Homo-oligomer: A and B are copies of this chain.
Amino acid sequence: MQSARNKPSAPRRTIPTELLQALRQRFGERFSTARAVLDQHGRDESPFEATPPDGVVFAATTDEVAEAVRLCGQHRVPIIAFGAGSSIEGHVLAVQGGITIDLSQMNKVLMVNSEDLTATVEAGVTRKQLNAAIKDTGLFFPIDPGADACLGGMAATRASGTNAVRYGTMRENVLGLTVVTADGKIIRTARRARKSSAGYDLTRIFVGSEGTLGIITEVTVRLYPQPEAVSAAVCSFPEVGNAVHTVIQTIQVGVPVARAELLDALTVRAVNRHSKTTLKEQPMLFLEFHGTPSAVREQAETVQEIARENGGEDFEWAVHPEDRTRLWNARHKAFHACIQLRPGARAFTTDACVPISRLADCIRETIEDTRTSSLPCPIFGHVGDGNFHCVIVADPNNAAEMQEAERLNQRVMQRALAMDGTCTGEHGVGMHKIPLLKEEFGDDAVDLMRRLKMAWDPLNILNPGKVVVP
């Protein structure tokens, strides 16, 4: 795949043979420089040019991660953490070369405290794996970014997804982390109390730091009681705005809706085609309610009434677990369904997030802007958070298309900023949003980020070329 957009922040650094030998000696077969392995670790779900590392360590323990970091540090060689490879902003691309530490084999659920509603897992545990492991405790872990991402990566990108409107994002749901610092020290950012005012919030500094301040090796998260009753519904609307207003009003009256997902007509078409569903190809809300049976009934009635006032029709309920699973599977596949609108294409997945009062405007303007483009630009998102994805589908071998996609992408981000929003609600900065941070926060705030990076990673070896340029 090609892309004109991949401008690394600095050239690849030279990897000393001595380091490769040391890693081979220490990790044996769990250190690889095989082409296929490098290639596999040089890409994610972003549209950016694959950029493989020079070697991959498959770490088994936090101590091993620390050893690998220390070895790389001695040679000032970049270190990139890799989990499920489901990131969307090129986070795992080795843009300055270096060694990737693959954490997918660190996949043990270490501790489940059902009385405290917490679990501690190794960074490579995926959200589905965690939920399978705790199924019998009556608890669940709600954060659901769609992909079966690993918890380490979800923490590192401050991920959220469909349940965030009710349960929060990784920011709210990570209680503590084990982290390997740039100098190969191992720290715990917090203990297991639900809250603390003890010192600077190390946990929140690492959550969302995209591997640039430390390598997350263990994650302690909050769990929640499985709701006694769950009910899901889809509802069609004449225009996107009606759907958005339904959700805004739902939140304003205090209905604790668990999920409130918007799909525009094009997304519904893509989903129908991909998942063989027969949803009406109109703007649509996917809703879910959690609570006691009577609370769920009451929430559903309130929202149904609000939807009706906003022109919503054809409320279809999915009360049985298998119906709900089918529905949410279809929703989760929306991203891939959209990409497959054009075989061989890649997607620029915009990630605007604005105050909800501006969301309808932001989506409407985005639709108007993309309507004239030759590229398909389906829109879906987490309306309750003011967050939506316009998936700009382009042919990676067509430079004009890639430029057009990039232009539209930039305009979505500028639009979000103009509405007091953020250029990324849940995907992260990666490489290509670095200039946007200056617009979003201003030079002086970005300078604080830069100074933090330099203070904690003075050699700039942790995922260099991402988030900030020191």
Contact = CB atoms under 8 A, between A and B. Distances in A.
Interface stretch (A25-33, A290-298, A320-328): A290-298
Nearest to A455: B455
A32 to B, nearest CB: 30
Interface stretch (A3-11, A56-64, A334-342, A418-426): A418-426
Contacts of A190: 422, 441
Contacts of A238: none
Contacts of A117: 251-252, 356
Contacts of A185: 444
A194 B416 CA distance: 13
A75 interface: no
A417 B188 CA distance: 13
B420 A192 contact: yes
A200 B449 contact: yes
Given A201-B158, A452-B452, A195 B164 contact: yes
B437 A199 contact: yes
A198 B429 contact: yes
A451 B426 CA distance: 28
A228 interface: yes
A157 B205 contact: no
Grouping DSSP codes into helix (H, G, I), strand (E, B) and loop, the A interface class, with mixed when no group exceeds half, is loop
Contacts of A433: 198
Given A116-B355, A191-B421, A205-B204, A197 B429 contact: yes
Contacts of A356: 115-117, 194
A436 B187 CA distance: 16
A467 B213 CA distance: 21
The 10 closest A-B pairs by CB, nearest first: A204-B204, A225-B254, A455-B455, A115-B357, A196-B422, A187-B445, A116-B355, A193-B353, A185-B444, A158-B197
Interface string A392-415: 000000000000000000000000
Given A188-B442, A424-B198, A448-B181, A193 B354 contact: yes
Contacts of A157: 197
Contacts of A90: none
B199 A449 contact: yes
